Structure 1
């Protein structure tokens, strides 16, 4: 695997601090059997990565990031299509509410073009760092949208399996 330091550096550049764990906690996830970081290299550089939990009922994408040197070249779409074709389970990911800012709305549109569905049900990402507040986010799912009861089961699975709550 590419040096974890390089992956973490891209994570720091691509996400606000409240959306990823400390270096030690993030690296510790690599010990989990259900957690994998898929890396994509171009020109001998880390071009992108996708961090995924392969849970029993679903695939949860925790992070996907493309190095700014390689953005706009279709790499994000390629990675997501690879995840979609390789998963035999529903795929779930978290997004910032689209009304929060234009970049959040752009990301939601990106996932919708790939067939993901945005859910309006309440969802908060638990704090990833001590002393932080929960982060109001929304879940997106592929290949179908969930009704309220099924959404709650998916949410509970993520909170228990990913965040240990």
Structure 2
């Protein structure tokens, strides 16, 4: 399996596919405005990857960097490519690209009462299988509370706040609740 990571550009032939996948793959309350993602990706600390597998478009990866932290903000694999090990291959490649950095992400909490409990459980198992571990922290972004998983070391709440302030800017970051919670 040969993966190719390319920085997304608005003129990219994959741009429309990525936007459509993003809108389908993430619930409304977990999606930042797509235009904001695109504009923020022009910053040097943001990597918006279009991913091809064996020359076929396969998905997207959006990472925000700050100091030695890399936050996997969004990862989505095209529906046509799911179940083929591409998601795992993307994560393995990301671990090489961001080697020596603390790589972390947020997933929906496991709540048996949630409508998509099985999906949440499978997602969590996927990341654990790929080397991520529980950081025993919760993160609230807007109205959604997430569990934090990571590789390479712990992440402190103050570091997350600094990362998001660096990403969103001081004014925009005040408009959203983004904090670690107990």
TM-score (structure 1 length as normaliser)? 0.82
TM-superposed deviation, 1:27: 2.0
Q: Please say if 1:161 is aligned against 2:172.
A: no
> Which position in structure 2 is the counterpart of 1:141?
150
> Which position in structure 2 is the counterpart of 1:108?
124
CA deviation vs aligned residue, 1:6-44 (integer Å, no higher than 9, x gap) = 211110111111222223222212221111111122576
Which consecutive unaligned segments of at least 5 residues does structure 1 have? Answer: 128-133
Give the distance between the partners of 2:102 and 2:140, measured in 1 at CA: 20
Shift in alpha-carbon separation, 1:33–1:40, aligned structure 2, 3 A: same
Select the residue among 65, 80, 85 that pairs with 1:74: 85
Quote the RMSD (CA, aligned, Å). 2.0
Select the residue among 39, 45, 48 that pairs with 1:37: 48
TM-superposed deviation, 1:155: 3.0
Shift in alpha-carbon separation, 1:159–1:43, aligned structure 2, 3 A: closer
TM-score (structure 2 length as normaliser)? 0.75
Query: For 1:115, what is the secondary structure of its paired residue?
Result: coil
Which consecutive unaligned segments of at least 5 residues does structure 2 have? Answer: 1-7, 174-182
Give the distance between the partners of 1:27 and 1:152, measured in 2 at CA: 26
Give the distance between the partners of 2:72 and 2:102, measured in 1 at CA: 11
Shift in alpha-carbon separation, 1:73–1:122, aligned structure 2, 3 A: closer
TM-superposed deviation, 1:58: 0.5
Which one has the bigger strand percentage?
Answer: 2
Give the distance between the partners of 1:56 and 1:115, measured in 2 at CA: 22
> Which position in structure 1 is the counterpart of 2:26?
15
Give the distance between the partners of 1:96 and 1:90, measured in 2 at CA: 20
TM-superposed deviation, 1:45: 4.7
TM-superposed deviation, 1:85: 1.6
> Which position in structure 2 is the counterpart of 1:57?
68
Contact 2:106-2:139 within 8 A present in 1 as well: no
Query: For 2:58, what is the secondary structure of its paired residue?
Result: strand
TM-superposed deviation, 1:59: 0.8
